[in-house]
Copies of this chain bind each other. A is one copy, B any other.
Amino acid sequence: MYEDIDLEQAWRLLQEHSPSLRHEVVSATAALGRILAQTLYAGQDLPPQAQSAVDGYALGENHGMDNNPYVLCGSLSTAESASAVLDKGHAKAVNTGGVLPLGTVAVIPHEKVSVKGEHLYLLGKVKPGDCIKRAGEDFARNERLLTAGTQVDPTALGLLAAFGIDVVEVLERPRVAIICLADNIVPRGIEPGSGQMRDSNGPMLSGFVSEQGGITVALHYPPHTGGSLNIVLQELSRQTELVLLVGGTYQDGENTSRLLMEDVGAQVIFWGVSIQPGSHAGAGKLGNCLLLSLSGNPAACAVNYHLYAAPVMRNLQGMPWYYRQVTARCRNGFPKKTGSRRFVRGRACWQNSGWEVEVLPGQKPSMLRSWLGCNALIDLPPGSGPIAEGEEVRVLLLTDYTVSLVED
């Protein structure tokens, strides 16, 4: 067990102890956003036969292509044209994507011909192969289409449909349980009594989980939902890959969250990371489930989620672990000195002169305000002074990931 470690060590330890996801089979229509657990190959050529790339005319052989005129054949149905043969010197109207009759040497767009009765005159040059989509031109039979680990996007949905793939094997969605340990918060639907307040951490964390493709299977408030906390945690650790214990990192002189991990027989991986806000975070492992103890202070809780839980959620799904780190010009500065390494909530945007970041208002660990519009964490090294307007700072971009820990 490691105590009061630095963030990079916490990341390495979390990577080492990452849980794994099982596979499931889903219909292609429900696969958007899911992570493929199988590599898919082309079962046939795409396009399956040579097709016209334009709306125009298929041209047969003609003693040299530019030998005007061609004799126009009548229109054929799709099924007929697939087995039709284009005689020497003949031409036939075709649509984009339409199958070409056998004997087609090239296709010419309709705007480059002149039609007079049954004769077609080329107005431009044409070479054999022009405007023809070859069979297998996009994907050849047996070629790899999509690799295991790929997230299914709309293009992948198009590919699955093009190849008639109706079901795919994907990773299960990460299942997450959230247990709120603070004794003075109440869940949604309960009117807070004297000295109590409504919980905001549970709904916020559940939103983060959902945005990362996970499912919150339980949102547990021990004083309200009852049952032995140890038994609840043991049960949830069997049903999930990640349990978030919120608050209770230091309560009445006891670290409830850490005692709880020890009581259920979890391996405590680390406790305390030398950052602010949220330095009391910790991690444990119970079976295949990672237990993360996050601060109960809302803004610190969100920082903890993004620094510990979010990379694990990505890693589970085979996505890049680390946030992209950039240097940005701080538009408005930050007035405080920094003791231990500090993560300030900011809004980064790219300008043609480079990255800029604005420190958001409400930077106390308790204030949700600093997360409104937040898309970046400004990473201030220990012992740094106030940040002046226009000063350069290191920034973690919360919406951009990379596989390597250190970038320059």
Contact = CB atoms under 8 A, between A and B. Distances in A.
Interface of A: 28-29, 32, 46-49, 51, 53, 55, 75, 78-83, 93, 95-99, 110, 133, 137-139, 146, 153-164, 166, 182-185, 188-189, 191-208, 210-211, 247, 249-253, 295-298, 302, 324, 326-327, 350, 352, 362, 364-369, 371-372, 374, 400, 407-408
Given A82-B195, A195-B82, A371-B155, A97 B366 contact: yes
Given A154-B204, A154-B207, 10 more contacts: A28-B188, A47-B197, A55-B249, A55-B251, A95-B183, A99-B184, A137-B366, A155-B371, A161-B199, A162-B298
Work out how many copies of this chain go into the complex.
2
A194 B79 contact: yes
A400 B355 CA distance: 14
Given A97-B184, A182-B95, A204 B253 contact: no
Contact of A193 (B79, B81, B198, B365): B79
Given A162-B200, A296-B97, A366 B133 contact: yes
B28 A203 contact: yes
A51 to B, nearest CB: 8
Nearest to A202: B161
A321 to B, nearest CB: 17
Nearest to A183: B78
Given A53-B365, A161-B188, A367-B137, A97 B203 contact: no
A138 B97 contact: no
Contacts of A327: 352
**Chain B CB within 10 A, most for which of A195, A252, A366:** A195
Contact of A252 (B46, B81, B95, B296): B95
A146 to B, nearest CB: 8
A82 B161 contact: no
A352 B326 contact: yes
